[in-house]
Every structure is written in C-alpha cells, then in structure tokens.
A and B are shown apart, each in its own frame.
Chain A
Amino acid sequence: MITNIKRRSFLKVAATLGGGFTLGIAWASDVKTGYIKTAAEDWTGINAYLSISPTGKITIMSTNPEIGQNIKTAFPMIVADELGADWKDVIVEQAALDTVNFKRQVAGGSQSIRFSFDLLRQAGATARQMLINAAAETWGVDPSLCKADMSKVVYNGKSLSYGELANKAGKMPKPENVSLKDTKDFHIIGSSQKNVDADKILSGNQKYGIDTKREGMLYASIKKPDGFGQVIVSVNDAKTRAIPGVVDVVQFDEKVVVLAKDTWTAMKGKKALSVTYKSDKTLEDSEVIDKKLVELLNGAGEVKRNDGDVDKAFAEADQIVEKTYEAPFLPHNCMEPMNFFADVQADKAHLEGPIQTPEGSRKAVADMLGLKEDQVSLMLTRMGGGFGRRLNGDFVREAAQISKLAGKPILLVYSREDDMAGGIYRNAVKYRFKAAVKGGKMTAYQLHGAGVNSRNHCRENFFPAGAIDNYKVMSSNYESAVTCGPWRAPVTNFLACAEQSFLDEVAEACKKDAVDFRLEMLDYAIANNSTTKKDYDPVRFKAVLKLAADKSDWYNKSSNEFKGFSAYFSHNSYVAEVAHMKKVDGTPVLEKVTCAFDCGILINPLSALNQVEGGVVDGIGHAMYGNLTIKDGAAQQTNFNTYRMIRIAEAPKVVSHFIDSTEHPSGLGEPTLPPAGGALANAIYKATGKRIYKQPFVNEMEVDVLG
C-alpha cells in the first residue's frame, strides 16, 4: 500500500469524500521523488499525516517502524499535543513506507524522536491553526481570540468540536508561521499513556510480519552454508521434493530454498536437503579470531584521536594501570525470527514485514529486480524486536529473490537456528586500556580497540575526551567472513562496560571514591569546555552522576551492600547506574540497579520507565550470559538450549530516576544498556574482590550472581 501520492504539495489540504479532512505534509528534501518543487521555500524537515472524521475521531499515522521502543504511541502523542487533541479521540495507524509524504522512516540509533520532535509538533500545530481558522470564520471573529482545547475550538463560551470543523478546516488556506506551544503547556507530552497496541497484543490479534497471509502464498525456508564463507558444491533435493506439501526448491547465491504449503513442511523439507559445501579459505574459528585481535592490540592501531602527550605522561607516572577486556560475538535473538513477505511480479513488487530500514531495503530490492522504487511498495508491520538486526535488509532481498524465482507470493520464515547461526552479529571485540597515575591523579588515558568487521571500534569523542589532557584512542579492525552488524547500542554496548570497569580500577589506584573520581574528571571537562572537542555536555553528565549517587545512597557504605557504579553518554543521552549486590548465605546476589537518566523532555514517562528497565535487564543479561562462538566456520550456539538468555528469576529490580528536563528529547531505547555491565562488574569486585575482564561474566565466576 502506498499512501495517496497526490497529497504531495506542501501542506496541501484536501477535503476527503467522507467529509473529514486530511493534512499531508511533504518536503522538498525528498529529492528522489523530484516533484515537490515549492516546498523548500517554506519549510525543511519531516512530514506527518493526520485525518479527522466528522464524528471527531482523529487518526494519526505513526510513520516510523515499531520495534518495541513504543514509537507508535510516542509519535502520535507529539502530534496530538500540538493539535490540541483529547488523546481519547486519537486512533493510531501504522504508515507504510512513503518517501513522498514522510521522512526518515528508520528505527535506528535511538534517533526517531530526536529527529522528528519539532516536525511532528509543527504538523500538529499547523492542523490546529486550520481548525481555529475554520471556527473563527464560522463565528466571524478574529482567529487570535479562539483557542484549541481538547478536540474543540472555543471562544467566548461558544465551542465547535474538531469533528464539526473538520470539513471546513480542510478547505482553509494553509497557515504561515504557526506557533508552537510553550513546553509548560504540553497536555499529552509528558503524560503517561499506555501502549496503543496493547489490546491487540494481549488478545492475540496483533499481526506481526510472520503472521502475514495472502491468497496463493507459499512458505519459504532457506538453507545457507553451514559455515561462514562456504560455497555450494552440489545440491540433492530429491528427498525434499518427495515430501507431501513441498511445492518447489529454488537456488540462488549460496542459498537453497524450499517452498511449501505451510511453514513446518518447508522447514522439514529444508532438513531433508543434501547440500555439500566447500571453502577456499581456512574456516573461521573464535579462538583464532581471539588470537588475531590480541595481535592487533599488540601492534599500532589507527589513531582516532591524540590529545597532549600520553607517552610522556606514561614515562613520568608513579604507576601504570593496563588492562584488556574481551567480548564474544552476540546474536540479536529478536523473539520474532527474521521473516518477510514478497510478491514480485513483472512490473511491480509488494513487500511486507518487519524491517528497521524500509527505504533502504526497498531501494535494494528495486535495484536487484530492475524496478523503479515507485514500482515497489513496502508495508511495515509491528516487529517482535529489532535490536539492530533488522537494520540489515538481507532477508528482505532474499524474500524478493525467492518470490521472483518461484513466481508466487511467498513468506520467508527463518527458523530460530537460521536466525541465530546466520550472522550479522555484534562483533567480537577487545579493548586495551592504559592509564598513567601520578600524585593520586590519572595523568594519561589510552585506549586501543580491536574487533571484527567495523571501521571504528571506539568512540573517541565520548567521555573521557576533554576530561583529561593526555588522551589517545586507537582502533584496529580484523576482517572476517563472520558477518557483523549493529546490535543494540553499537560499539558502546561493550565499550562502556570495559571503560567503566577500567575507570573503577584507576580510581582505586588513585585512592579515590569511584564517583568522586569521575566527578573530578567532569569538573575538569567543564572548566575546559570551550577548548576541547567532545560529543557530550559535561554539565548534564555530572547531574546524572550526582542523581544516581544520591538515589542509590552511594556514600553510605553499609556492611552487607556492595555497590558498583557506572556512567555512560550515548545516543545524546546521559545515564548513570548503580548495581546493588548483597550476600545471601555468603553468596553475592545482584538485588537491584538504580538508574539515573537524562534524555531531555520525556514524551511518555510510563513507556520511558519500561524502556529503561528493559535496557538495564538486557545489558545485565548479555554481560552475564551472552556468548556465541564460531568453530569450523559455524556458530556453535544455534538455539536457546545452548545460548543462554536472561530469564525472569535472574532479572534484577530496576529503580529509575529521570532528570526533569526541558532539553530537546534524545535517545531512550539504547543508552541504558551500555553502562549496565560495568555497574555489575564493579559491584562484583566490591563483593568478591575479583575483577571481571571478559564476557560472559558467568564463565569467569564460581557463582551466578543473578541467583
């Protein structure tokens, strides 16, 4: 489904057949479509879309992919607030990919709200002004005397509902320079609203991509090489074709695909395939990769940043602290395995399913099929998790290829084993830190990151950049056939754990309290704020450290509580976490995590709490258990019997505190994950005296501290 592309001129408003009005906002920056010539003169930014029925129902399209970050509730809340709507009147619908009317339909980098906030507000405010103008004209009064109030326009005791005004408003000329609300007047933004899809989710009526059904559709199961980098030598599909319900077997690249009348038969048919593979190169192996990464750490990395003179500081140091931290590959393990529907025909194609990057994926499919982008439609479905896996549209391209070869609409469904063994992992990575300590102070900080398949394994402009004069960051990359990709909080998901564990050790070497040590560094960054480049604001960062210290009762050292501190800036947000550990019958157990968070204006506090809790639990779980290893070219863990995920009994309580802020909203879905592992590692040290240098933590300890 492609939204009506005739609604293309900027803020062109058309009365609909039903008597309601629709407001489409389109932007010239969408240069690919080429026909929005006048819009650039007026505005720049994103677009949005809403419609109002004569009965006063307001449908707001949620434009971005929903992966569990609850954007489908938050985006419409922003529009509805500026619209002056009563939230009870709002119906939310998922928009299809529509590059004519919408902008940046991506779920990635925790950037959706940050990018779209002002533009969604403008969309709502423009519609509100048109409704006000319609009411003012009806009453013959100046619009400035009228006010929007809970889905009504009011003036001098009179009132007209948005439903009553919709038709007339739809014919009003587009207003110029609409004013946005003062943030203190928000009536929906900042209020806690429930997930708009909850009823459907809890009654089994929510459709995910994997639930897609179409007339004549076949189910596809895909067999890829057992090991990364292998190619097919021969395929024998005789046994597969003999299975009742198997319709076809097709082959492309190094993939063999079984098409059947149901999912299980397709999977059964795949298991019956006999495929032999070969590889010209030595097959990948985690132990070999580990050795290669250490070799890289022992060499000179690509210098990403070099402030002051670290070598001089190391030469003059009282003490040098040098530690290496290690992490394995991790699969994403979205609960909904990768899947996509494709119906490819000679001159058009329809795609439908869970994808975080619909625009890029459609373009890739169009290019692959030799179609133009406007011949390919893409409908978004609610996703059973994303975590970065669905930024990569490999399975979308596969679905399109299969549909083309089969000549039928198909639903490609990965088995859990396909999903977990199929790559696009959080890369294996190692970090070596080196600090110079002199006179009770850290006088130099050096980091070298070495990992698999990424241009940069570090974040050289994050803390402690600017907080110390002698500062050097290097990165080294190892190219491997094991495919890697973004994984919730790319790079920082382990970098933060390593860095915050290391700083704890350096603080100890400096004989400083862990929080005071960090606060002193931030004070230095504040004092030198104008002279050093850094991506973070040390004043905001310091505030979350102090909030976490206060709420966790950090400075109260009781005899049976062992607290670990960790703080991290990422995705434009600031987080500090304290892991609270107790000993039960002599065994340390993680009891709870206190989290202080600054992500600017909170759109939906209830949902924000849920995201913070989930990020912490996810971070603790993967630090403790996450481990995927490669042997003979293949993943050794392919399902949840061998790959351990955190479960309910192991999840710590999470107590969250937000900075009350009027700053522009920033990332929420990712930033609470990175510091969690460091807080846990530092608490483990307090409780046991043992430092943890390697994920998964559970392999480094005699007891499981999650109980």
Chain B
Amino acid sequence: MATISFQLNGKTVSVKDVDAQMPLLWVLRDHLNMTGTKYGCGIAMCGACTVHMNGSAVRSCSIPISSIEGSKITTIEGFSPNMDHPLQKAWIEHDVPQCGYCQAGQIMSAAALLAENAKPSDEDIDIAMSGNICRCGTYNRIKAAIKTASNQ
C-alpha cells in the first residue's frame, strides 16, 4: 500500500492506502471520482483512457500509480472545462460523437498532437490517433475536426 501525491488538473492531490500497482485509470475513476477517463481494454490498445502526463498523451490504464509521484496529470475534466478549446469546438462543429465513449480519449490524443504539431498532415493525424479505437466508426469526422481545430 502506498501514498502518492501528484498534480491533477492543476491541484495537488494525495492518494492514501492504494495498491502501488493500481493503474492511474482506476485511481482516477474509483478513488478520485473522476470518471471522464474511460476504461476500454486495460492493456493500452484502445486509447479510451488517454490522459496527459507532463503534457504527453499516455494510456492511464497501464501506468501504475507508484510511477506518477510528482507528475502533472490532466484529464478530460481539467482539459478545458469551459468547452472553449478549439478541439472541443471543432468536435461539436463536426458533430463527431456517436456513442461518445471513446471521445474523451480521442480529444486528449488530438490535443497532445496539436501541442506538438500545430498543422498536422493527414498522415500525422493517422499516426498520432492510431492508438484510439472508435467502434462507431467516427474516424473521418475526428480527422476533419482536428483539421478544423488546427486552422484556428
């Protein structure tokens, strides 16, 4: 059992008495009540659980809580709560979500892409977003929305 402190959406949080091997995903969801980050596969193959760790997109299902001491974590709830990020606006403009379950992870992956590459090509988008599965098949809209956001 461990006690871990880290920055979550700009605030310092301390999690006590958790299994050191528990992935960040489940600490967020079950111990901190931050359920915007979704469970999809548990093995970093679907991207539903994507969060930012020190600015990079990571799969929170595969990061033990013991490894994030002192890190800065951003989840979908803290990413842009006022819904004014160009990606959120573009997602709405293109009416991207169907079931919506994977979309928080999609947005977090896209945001990390744009932070590194303000004008991604189609190929850049394909590479950066290839870790995020959408069973509803909204990929074309995701791509269009990233393009729209990148032009703002």
- On A, residues with C-beta under 8 Å from B are 67-70, 192, 194-195, 197-199, 201-208, 210-211, 213, 219, 244-245, 261-265, 267-268, 333-337, 382-387, 413, 415-416, 606-607, 610-611, 613-618, 621, 639-641, 645-649, 651, 653-654
B140 CB–A CB distance under 8 Å: yes
Q: How far is the CA of A610 from the CA of B92 in the complex (A)?
A: 13
Q: Which of B102-152 contact A (CB under 8 A)?
A: 102-104, 107, 125-127, 129-130, 132-143
Using known A-B contacts A245-B19, A263-B29, A264-B30, determine if residue A647 contacts B130 with beta carbons closer than 8 Å: yes
Interface check B22, CB cutoff 8 A: yes
* Chain A residues near B95 (CB-CB < 8 A): 192, 194-195, 198, 606-607, 610
State whether A194 and B29 are in contact (beta carbons under 8 Å apart), knowing that A204-B37, A335-B48 are contacts in the complex: no
Distance in Å: Cβ of A148 to nearest Cβ of chain B: 28
The answer on a CB contact under 8 Å between B98 and A205 is no
Residues 29-88 of B contacting A (Cβ, < 8 Å): 29-31, 33-43, 45-46, 48, 75-77, 79-81, 83, 88
Specify which chain A residues have a CB less than 8 angstroms from the CB of B26 in the assembled complex: 262-264
Q: 5 nearest interchain CB pairs?
A: A204-B36, A384-B101, A68-B99, A617-B137, A204-B76
Contact of B104 among A198, A202, A382, A651 (CB under 8 A): A202
Minimal beta-carbon separation of B90 from chain A (angstroms): 10
Contact yes or no, A203 B83, CB < 8 A? yes
Instruction: Judge whether B75 and A385 touch: CB under 8 Å.
Output: no
Q: Which residues of chain B come closer than 8 Å to A219, judged between CB atoms? A: 30
Q: Is the CB of B98 within 8 A of A68?
A: yes
When the two chains form their complex, are residues B101 and A208 in contact, meaning their CB atoms are under 8 A apart? yes
Min distance, Cβ B26 to any Cβ of chain A, angstroms: 4
List A contacts of B39 (CB < 8 A).
210, 263, 337, 413
Are B46 and A648 interface neighbours, CB within 8 A?
Answer: no
Contact A197:B130 (CB < 8 A) given known A203-B36, A262-B26, A618-B136: no
Assess the A610–B98 pair: CB atoms within 8 A: yes
In Å, the complex CA distance between A205 and B37 comes to 10
Complex interface: chain B residues within 8 A of A197 (CB): 97, 100
Residues of A within 8 A of B48 (CB): 335
Q: Which residues of A contact B23 (CB under 8 A)?
A: 264
Partner of A613, one of B19, B38, B88, B140: B140
Expressed in whole angstroms, the minimum distance between the Cβ of B24 and any Cβ of chain A is 10
CB-defined contacts of A640 to chain B, threshold 8 Å: 41, 43, 45-46, 133
Q: With A198-B95, A199-B83, A201-B103 given, name 9 new contacts (CB 8 A).
A: A208-B38, A334-B135, A336-B99, A413-B39, A607-B95, A614-B136, A640-B133, A648-B126, A648-B129
Provide the bound-state CA to CA distance between A640 and B135, in Å: 12
Give B residues with C-beta under 8 Å from A: 1, 19, 22-23, 26, 29-31, 33-43, 45-46, 48, 75-77, 79-81, 83, 88, 91-92, 95-104, 107, 125-127, 129-130, 132-143
CB distance from B117 to the nearest CB of A (A): 16
| Complex contacts, A211 vs chain B, CB 8 Å | 29, 35
A646 / chain B contacts, CB cutoff of 8 Å? 137, 139
Q: How far is the CA of A664 from the CA of B151 in the complex (A)?
A: 41
A420 to chain B, nearest CB (A): 9
Distance, CA A334 to CA B23, complexed state (A) = 22
Measured between alpha carbons, how far is A213 from B30 in the docked complex, in Å? 9
Min C-beta distance of A524 to chain B, whole Å: 35
Would you call B133 and A335 a contact (CB within 8 A)?
yes
Q: What are the residues of chain B within 8 A of A263 when measuring CB–CB?
A: 26, 29-30, 39
The residue of chain A having its C-beta at the shortest distance from the C-beta of B138 within the complex is A614
Closest to B1 in A: A244
Separation of A617 and B134 alpha carbons in the complex (Å): 10
Q: Are B97 and A202 in contact (CB under 8 A)?
A: yes
> How long is the Cα–Cα vector from A219 to B30 in the complex, in angstroms?
9
Whether B99 lies near A385 (C-beta < 8 A) is yes
Contact check, A203 vs B19: say whether CB atoms are below 8 A apart.
no
The one of A70, A262, A335 that contacts B134, using a Cβ cutoff of 8 Å? A335
Chain A residues near B76 (CB-CB < 8 A): 202-204
User: Assuming the A-B contacts A198-B97, A208-B101, are A648 and B143 also in contact, with contact meaning beta carbons closer than 8 angstroms in the complex?
Assistant: yes
* Given A611-B98, A651-B137, A651-B139; A201-B104 close (CB under 8 Å): yes
A639 in contact with B100 (CB, 8 Å): no
CB <8 Å contact, A265 and B19: yes
Q: Which of A199, A206, A415, A654 has the most chain B CB atoms inside 10 A of its CB?
A: A206
Question: Are the C-beta atoms of B46 and A654 separated by less than 8 Å?
Answer: no
Known contacts A614-B136, A648-B125, A648-B129; A198/B42 CB under 8 A: no
B140 x A617 contact (CB < 8 A)? yes
Chain A residues with CB under 8 Å of B130's CB are 647-649
Complex Cα distance A413/B38, Å? 12
Inter-chain contacts of B1 with A (CB < 8 A): 244
Could you list 27 A-B pairs, sorted by A, with CB under 8 Å? A68-B98, A194-B95, A195-B97, A198-B91, A198-B92, A199-B83, A199-B92, A202-B76, A202-B88, A202-B92, A203-B36, A204-B35, A208-B38, A262-B26, A262-B30, A263-B26, A335-B46, A335-B102, A384-B102, A385-B99, A385-B101, A386-B99, A610-B95, A610-B96, A610-B141, A617-B140, A639-B45
Report yes or no: B40 in contact with A416, Cβ–Cβ below 8 A. yes
Chain A residue nearest in CB terms to B126: A649
Residues on the A chain within 8 Å of B81, using CB: 203
- Tell me if B137 and A204 are in contact (CB < 8 A): no
Which A residues lie within 8 Å of B97 (CB)?
68, 195, 197-198, 201-202
A384 near B99 with CB under 8 A, answer yes
CA distance A219 to B39 in the complex (A): 14
- In Å, the complex CA distance between A70 and B98 comes to 7
Cβ–Cβ contact B43 & A264, under 8 A: no
Chain B residue with the shortest CB-CB distance to A268: B19
Bound-complex Cα distance A589 to B91 (A): 28
Cβ B41 vs Cβ A205 within 8 A:
no
Closest to B109 in A: A648
Separation of A503 and B40 alpha carbons in the complex (Å): 39
- A616 with B103: in contact, given A639-B45, A648-B132 (CB under 8 Å)? no
Query: Which single member of A67, A70, A244 contacts B19 (CB below 8 Å)?
Result: A244
Q: Give Cα A68 to B98, complex, Å.
A: 4
Distance to closest chain B CB from A336 (angstroms): 5
B92 touches A335 (CB 8 A): no
Task: State whether A641 touches B45 (Cβ < 8 A).
Answer: yes
**Chain B residues near A606 (CB-CB < 8 A):** 95
Contact (Cβ within 8 A) A194 B33: no
A654: contacting residue among B30, B80, B103, B140, CB under 8 A: B140
Residues on A with beta carbons closer than 8 Å to the beta carbon of B132: 647-648
CA separation between A151 and B95, bound complex, in Å? Answer: 26
Given A204-B36, A640-B133, are A610 and B138 also a contact pair (CB < 8 Å)?
A: yes
Which of B45, B79, B138, B140 has the most A CB atoms < 10 Å from its CB? B140
User: Is B136 touching A202 in the complex (CB atoms < 8 A)?
Assistant: no
- Nearest A residue to B33 via CB reads A213
- Alpha-carbon gap, A613 to B140, bound state (A): 8
B36 / chain A contacts, CB cutoff of 8 Å: 203-206
Contact assessment for B41 and A382 in the assembled complex, using a CB-CB cutoff below 8 Å: no
| A211→B96 CA distance, assembly (Å) | 22
